[in-house]
Amino acid sequence: MFNNNKFKVLLVALGLVATYFLASSRLFAAEFEPKDADAIKMVQTLAAHIAKDAPGAFKAVDSKDPAYCNKDNPEFYAFAYDITGTVVCHPHNPKLIGTNYVDRPDPTGKLFRKEILQIANDPAKGKGWVDYTYTKPGDKKLHKKNTYFERVKGSDGKDYIPACGIYMK
């Protein structure tokens, strides 16, 4: 049989284990729900980084730096195009880097990348929102996505278009 001290130690140990699992469980954690202001802030942060150190900014995005890839909601992340629409950084799909899909529509036929370039290259605008249909990281289903972007001059003298999208519920 257990003596009283061993029983107390066992109860404390079980309590600590249970507390650990409850505290670390995503079931009890509030998932980050991004808002428009969050996307704008992430793009502006990336734009400032690109203006100061373009290669370092792209490396930070690609390595899922928390400033550009939300750890509590990995579907909320930044990415960037060069001014021709070629992907220069992407935290979830490195195969996209170096590709240019400006003429490739989303599944509904919308040429959203072309629309992003048209707005970004318009001197009167240079920034804006575009909605389209896309797949979430780790999910094969199609979802509506609304993406904010703005044009910025990089530290290397080239123009870039950092962007951040919000998948709609």
**Over 90: is that where the pLDDT of 164 sits?**
yes
Say what percent of the chain tops pLDDT 70: 81
- Supply the pLDDT for residue 1: 52
pLDDT in tens, 52-89: 999 999 999 999 999 999 988 888 999 999 999 999 99
Strands (DSSP E) found in 42-125 = 78-82, 87-89
Give every CB contact of residue 92 below 8 A, 6+ residues apart in sequence.
69, 74, 77, 137
Say what percent of the chain tops pLDDT 90: 69
pTM metric for this prediction: 0.79
pLDDT in tens, 21-45: 444 434 433 465 788 999 999 999 9
- Supply the pLDDT for residue 10: 53
**Over 50: is that where the pLDDT of 123 sits?**
yes
The helix/strand/coil state of 62 is helix
Question: What's the average model confidence in pLDDT over 140-161?
Answer: 96
- Supply the pLDDT for residue 26: 40
- Supply the pLDDT for residue 19: 47
Which alpha helices (H) appear in 75-157, and where do they start and end? 112-120
Structural domains in the chain, CATH included, are 29-167 (3.30.450.20)
Q: What is the mean pLDDT of the chain?
A: 86
Residue-wise burial string across 28-42, b where 16 or more C-beta atoms lie within 10 A, e elsewhere: eeeeeebeeebbbeb
- Supply the pLDDT for residue 71: 84
